[in-house]
Amino acid sequence: MILLKRIVNEEFNFRSDVMNNKVDILGVSVDSVTMQEAISKIETFFEQRKPTLIATANAEMLMRATHDEELKKILNAAELVVPDGAGTVWAAHHLGYEMPERVAGYDLAQELMKRAPLKNRRVYFFGSAPGVADKAKLKAEELYSGIKIVGTRNGFFKAEDEPQIIADIKTAQPDLLLVALGVPKQEKWLAKYKDELNVPVSIGVGGTFDVMAGIMKRAPLWMQKAKLEWLFRAMLQPKRAGRLIALPKFVLKVHSSKQKS
């Protein structure tokens, strides 16, 4: 406990040998970007129209990648991995890298939806329990006047349903595909099908539709600012509480990876 406290509360001196703003955290290359920089990178992906995968890396995802080689490869091949979560930002700082701010997947998705009507972009929602993506669509239409949500599909399906799901997405021709199947299913699904789908920008967005549909609450701003969003989620979903053990494990693992380097 004392070690954890000492590790978490240290002061940082940043190193200058960062390549392309990529920071290696437990073997995963995370982009050290602000929300604004992430958005301008994604704008170029929309223009290039080549299928790209964007991941939002929190401590849990990075921990998972240490024992899930397939996920690690997918993340390292992704066009953009934003630092989602105070844990990721802390880890970068602890390893001596600059990381300006947290770029939460939820906020990134909202920002892209806000811009969609201005650029006449088409958006598709795939994932979450039956009915949730439809409710999230209504919310998006209320928030972002003129937005074109060109399709929704829930995230509970069998392998034999996949050809139909893929055909539906292809017919809808979205520019932006938001996929909420949980980690690592959403990243693996997208890595497998993104070229076939040929959507310029696809993002794994976890619980985003649940929050938009009002099924899940986001932590109040003061808790987000106090870096306590993880605690709020654990209180709201006690089933997730077991997953919290990943956090101290993450801190210790990052610390020991620093000792080794």
Q: Does 155 bind ligand UDP (CB under 6 A)?
A: yes
DSSP 200-229: SEEEE-TTHHHHHTTSSPPPPHHHHHTT-H
Does residue 85 bind ligand UDP (CB under 6 A)? no
What minimum distance in Å lies between the beta carbon of 103 and ligand UDP? Answer: 15
CB contact set of 46 (below 8 Å; sequence gap of 6+): 119, 121, 175, 176, 200, 201
Q: Nearer to ligand UDP by C-beta: 49 or 192?
A: 192
Binding segment for ligand UDP among 5-13, 20-28, 96-104, 205-213 (CB under 6 A)?
205-213
Give the three-state DSSP class for 14.
coil
Shortest distance, position 166 Cβ to ligand UDP, whole Å = 16
Closest CA to 23 of 63, 73, 80: 80
In this chain, which of 28, 95, 150, 180 binds ligand UDP, going by CB under 6 A? Answer: 180
- Residue 127 lies near ligand UDP (rule: CB under 6 A): yes
Give the residue with the Cβ less far from ligand UDP, 144 or 189: 189
182 contributes a contact to ligand UDP by CB under 6 A:
yes
Cβ 203 vs Cβ 54: under 8 Å: yes
CA distances from 159 to 27, 38, 53, 201, 252 (A): 31, 33, 22, 24, 38
Smallest gap, in angstroms, from Cβ of residue 154 to ligand UDP?
A: 6
Query: Interface with ligand UDP by CB under 6 A: which residues?
Result: 127-129, 155-156, 180-183, 185, 206-207, 209-210
